[in-house]
Each structure stands twice: as C-alpha cells, then as structure tokens.
Amino acid sequence: MFLALAVSPVALSMDAPASPEALLSLVLYACLAAALIALLLGVAWLLGRKTHTPLKDAPYESGVAPSGAARMRAPAPFFLVAIFFLIFAVEAVIILSWAVAWDLLGWAGFAQVSFFALILFVGLAHLWKTGGLDWHPRAQERGRGGGT
C-alpha cells in the first residue's frame, strides 16, 4: 500500500498545497530533533571534563611527535583528473538523460546531443595534443615548445 502511494501520480503531484496537519507534524518533528540534539550536547558539555594541558591539546599522530606542516601541496594533475572526471560525469548524465527520452526528442535531439558530444571530443583532443592529460611536467613543457 505504501509503495503504491509513493509512486502514484497523485502522491507526486505538487498542485495541492500541504495540509496544515502535515506541516504541523513536520515542524513538531524538526523541533523535537533540534531539542534532542541540544539536550545531548548540553549533557555532554556538563558531564565532560574541562581540563586543558599542553599535552592534552597537542595533536596525536599515532604516538609519533608531529613535525613540519600538516598541509602538503598536492600535484596539479590530481586536480586536473578531478576536473576531467566532473566534466565527463556531467557529459554522461546529459547523454543518458537524452537516451531515456530519445523517442520524444527525435532527430533534433539526436543532432543536439551529437553536437554536444562533438564539442567535448574536440576539447578532449585539444587537451591530449597540448599535453594536458600527461602526468609529467616535461611532457607539458614539450607541448608548449619549452622543453628539450
């Protein structure tokens, strides 16, 4: 019964406003959740010890004394791979959404998604040619004409 209501068009309709009882129960639930969180945080603060020593405030590094800066610079290719992943993940979502509705979009939709894929392919070819996909700095310099 619940599953049938969850997927029925009537249950998904956004035309009718929510009833006051439903809004009241939502507000009551949110208030109870916030009160419970505040209560638990308050009890933890009251019962917890409040002593601070330099040894207690020092970071614990698995028994090893910390040395140097905690932040290390990551090489740029790691960020480039993340950006490429996002670009091609968005491309996949757009192409898959076209594939779901291909019968409604017809040849015009096919032309549009083909143009979209062509633009992304040209961008990928440009990245490949200029060395944007290479991990080593020498390969990127060679692509710019600055290497040996």
- In a domain? residue 12: no
As for how many domains the chain has, the answer is 1
Token pair of 8 as six digits: 């029925």
Query: What is the spatial distance between Cα 94 and Cα 86, in angstroms, rounded to a whole number?
Result: 12
Query: What is the spatial distance between Cα 124 and Cα 103, in angstroms, rounded to a whole number?
Result: 29
Lowest-confidence segment of 39-43, 48-52, 87-91, 131-135 by average pLDDT: 131-135
- Full domain range(s) for residue 129: 18-63+75-144
Q: What is the pLDDT of residue 70?
A: 66
Does pLDDT of 93 surpass 70? yes
Query: What is the spatial distance between Cα 74 and Cα 52, in angstroms, rounded to a whole number?
Result: 34
**Cα 54 to the center of its chain, rounded Å:** 37
Which pLDDT tens digit goes with each residue over 12-67? 556 677 888 889 999 999 999 999 999 999 999 999 878 888 877 777 767 676 67
Q: What is the pLDDT of residue 4?
A: 45
Which pLDDT tens digit goes with each residue over 54-86? 877 777 767 676 676 767 776 777 777 788 888
Which pLDDT tens digit goes with each residue over 1-12? 444 444 444 455
Q: Which residues of 107-134 are buried (b: 16+ CB within 10 A; e: fewer)?
A: eeeeeebeeeeeebeeebeebeeebbbb
- In a domain? residue 22: yes
Q: What is the pLDDT of residue 142?
A: 53
Which pLDDT tens digit goes with each residue over 104-125? 888 998 999 999 999 989 988 9
DSSP state of 51: -
93: nearest Cα among 113, 119, 123, 115 = 113
Q: What is the pLDDT of residue 87?
A: 84
Does the pTM of the predicted model rise above 0.75? no
Q: Residue 116 contacts by C-beta under 8 Å, 6 or more apart in sequence?
A: 91, 94, 95
- In a domain? residue 48: yes
Please report, for the domain that includes residue 122, its CATH number.
1.20.58.1610
